[in-house]
């Protein structure tokens, strides 16, 4: 596909795209975090255990992961706009199903799976569209700004749920109204306000439409160091390349870490003796760190490390391991204020790589595979979150949430190790 126009710089329209995608991103992760926020109410309503809550939370992820691959593939055929609208409508439908007041865990799991289909379509498309509309020198910052609202979604949900609880609204109505109203409203916004990049500029990523764009080659860089390598532009070459699998495995553990933090910590705080008010304070104020750290990670990757994403990736999860262990050893002996600060740093370092991590799926392949590979890599992340949430829930039931915290720290160590390998071998 050849560009229909040559631009001096990236179009200002990319910021409109970002705002639209941000709204969708907040919605899907608010929907995901709703389980952790309303977990106690759900367990009391259905008389289920922590491990059963973990099953309910985790089983939305397989559908999310599977549909992400499909979303990535069909985006290349019908455009991101249509895929995004369909995903938002499915989220709206899942909200309507929550409003029926499910009376069994089985029915609730079915609704969660439907929600997962919508979440997967929206998530894969949102991250891909932000990546392709922003040039390489801004891509880390843009994805970091997007990821900043992952942790913030926890705070948003906590405030929203507290307000609804004060109005004596039951948990399934709290979840249902949010997904129903926002899902359909955002679908209308995207349908009316978004333009596909392929139809607008005739390119797969905006870099191709900007004057001076030079595709990746396998020619050695100055000094003989092979810093660039041929990016695969088809599935056959992609699946054969070690970088694809390294990124995929790292995102498996990334998903297990990012989703696990919001799931494990409330259980750990409860076991450590913190009351409901203390838990809410720690989760609310601590999660705000994602705004600062995610944005900082994206900016640092672009401006300090000049696109070397893996260095930020390694720093991020190295710090996350350290502060997860500090939180564990602090236990119930720390005040709510101290624990909030520790969680602020724990969540902060976990989300520090939010931008660079989700740039890698786009940058390890050629432009033609950019959107499709984002969906495929989300499959790895979804699988990781599914498996690890089940593990965390089972461990919390069998041995206490403290053991889940230790396993969470081990899970965080893996992206750090793989990032070091990727950085040394492929200079990404």
- Residue 204: its pLDDT value, please? 84
- Residue 328: its pLDDT value, please? 93
Structure tokens at 224: 């003989």
- Residue 417: its pLDDT value, please? 95
Give the CA angle between residues 176, 182, 185 to the nearest 5°.
135
Structure tokens at 264: 């494990």
- Residue 409: its pLDDT value, please? 96
The upper half-sphere exposure of residue 94, i.e. CA atoms within 13 Å in the direction of its Cβ, equals 28
The owner of tokens 């985790």 is: 58
Closest CA to 377 of 246, 207, 197, 234: 246
Structure tokens at 301: 């990757």
- Which 8-state DSSP code applies to residue 364? T
- Residue 215: its pLDDT value, please? 64
- Residue 226: its pLDDT value, please? 43
DSSP of 275-287: -HHHHHHHHHHHH
Asked whether the beta carbons of 346 and 213 are under 8 A apart, the reply is no
Integer-rounded Cα radius of gyration of the chain? 21
Closest CA to 134 of 310, 363, 350: 363
Beta bridge partners of residue 210, listed in sequence order: 7
Write down the architecture of domain 13-203+230-426 according to CATH.
Up-down Bundle (1.20)
Asked whether the beta carbons of 282 and 340 are under 8 A apart, the reply is yes
Closest CA to 387 of 203, 210, 251: 251
- 3-state secondary structure (DSSP) of residue 103: coil
Asked whether the beta carbons of 280 and 161 are under 8 A apart, the reply is no
- Residue 383: its pLDDT value, please? 85
**Measured distance CA(266)–CA(264) in Å, rounded:** 6
User: pLDDT per position in the chain (428 positions), as tens?
Assistant: 554 557 888 899 999 999 999 999 889 888 887 877 787 888 888 888 777 877 777 777 778 778 888 887 787 778 889 999 999 999 999 999 999 988 888 888 899 889 989 998 998 889 889 988 999 889 888 988 888 776 667 778 878 888 888 888 888 899 899 999 999 999 999 999 999 988 888 888 898 888 777 665 544 344 434 445 677 878 888 888 888 999 999 999 998 998 888 889 888 998 888 887 888 888 877 667 878 888 888 889 888 887 788 889 999 999 999 999 999 998 878 888 899 999 999 988 988 888 888 888 888 887 778 777 887 887 898 788 888 988 998 898 889 999 999 999 999 999 999 999 988 877 76
- Residue 287: its pLDDT value, please? 65
Asked whether the beta carbons of 27 and 126 are under 8 A apart, the reply is no
Give me the sign of the Cα torsion angle 163, 168, 171, 173. negative
- Residue 221: its pLDDT value, please? 41
Closest CA to 324 of 270, 281, 264, 272: 264
Closest CA to 196 of 20, 27, 360: 20
Asked whether the beta carbons of 80 and 133 are under 8 A apart, the reply is no
Closest CA to 98 of 56, 47, 154: 56
* Predicted model pTM: 0.77
Ramachandran angles phi, psi of 7, nearest 5°: -105, 150
Give me the sign of the Cα torsion angle 318, 319, 323, 326. positive
- Residue 228: its pLDDT value, please? 55
- Residue 247: its pLDDT value, please? 93
- Residue 413: its pLDDT value, please? 96
Closest CA to 353 of 423, 301, 304: 301
The owner of tokens 């995102």 is: 251
Residues 6+ apart with CB under 8 A from 81: 190, 191, 194, 195, 196
Residues 6+ apart with CB under 8 A from 208: 3, 201, 367
- Residue 88: its pLDDT value, please? 97
């Amino acid at each position: 596909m050849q560009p229909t126009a040559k631009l001096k710089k990236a179009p200002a329209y990319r910021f409109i795209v970002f705002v639209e995608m941000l709204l969708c991103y907040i919605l899907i992760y608010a929907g995901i975090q709703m389980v952790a926020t309303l977990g106690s109410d759900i367990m009391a309503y259905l008389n289920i255990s922590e491990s059963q809550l973990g099953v309910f939370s985790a089983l939305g992820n397989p559908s999310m992961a599977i549909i992400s691959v499909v979303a990535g593939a069909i985006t290349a055929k019908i455009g991101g706009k249509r895929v995004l609208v369909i995903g938002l409508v499915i989220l709206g439908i899942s909200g309507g199903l929550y409003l029926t007041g499910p009376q069994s865990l089985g029915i609730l799991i079915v609704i969660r799976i439907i929600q997962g289909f919508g979440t997967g379509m929206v998530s894969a498309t949102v991250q891909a569209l932000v990546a392709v509309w922003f040039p390489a020198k801004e891509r880390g910052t843009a994805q970091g700004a997007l990821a900043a609202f992952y942790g913030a979604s926890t705070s948003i949900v906590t405030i929203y749920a507290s307000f609804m609880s004060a109005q004596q609204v039951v948990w399934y109505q709290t979840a249902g109204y949010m997904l129903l109203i926002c899902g359909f409203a955002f679908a209308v916004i995207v349908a009316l306000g978004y333009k596909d990049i392929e139809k607008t500029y005739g390119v797969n990523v905006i870099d191709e439409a900007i004057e001076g764009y030079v595709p990746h080659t396998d020619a050695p860089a100055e000094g003989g160091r092979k810093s660039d390598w041929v990016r695969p532009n088809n599935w056959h070459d992609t699946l054969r390349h070690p970088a694809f699998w390294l990124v995929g495995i790292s995102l498996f553990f990334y998903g297990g870490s990012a989703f696990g933090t919001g799931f494990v910590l409330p259980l750990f705080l409860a076991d450590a003796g913190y009351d409901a008010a203390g838990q809410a304070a720690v989760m609310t104020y601590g999660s705000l760190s994602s705004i600062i750290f995610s944005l900082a990670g994206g900016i640092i990757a672009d401006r300090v490390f000049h696109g070397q994403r893996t260095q930020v990736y390694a720093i991020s999860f190295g710090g996350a391991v350290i502060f997860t262990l500090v939180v564990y050893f602090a236990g119930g002996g720390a005040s709510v204020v101290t624990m909030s600060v520790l969680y602020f740093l724990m969540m902060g370092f976990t989300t520090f790589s939010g931008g660079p991590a989700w740039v890698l799926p786009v940058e390890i392949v050629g432009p033609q595979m950019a959107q499709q590979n984002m969906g495929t890599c989300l499959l790895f992340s979804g699988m990781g979150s599914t498996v690890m949430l089940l593990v965390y829930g089972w461990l919390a039931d069998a041995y206490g949430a403290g053991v889940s915290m230790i396993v969470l720290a081990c899970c965080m160590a893996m992206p750090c190790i793989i990032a070091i390998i990727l950085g040394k071998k492929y200079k990404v």
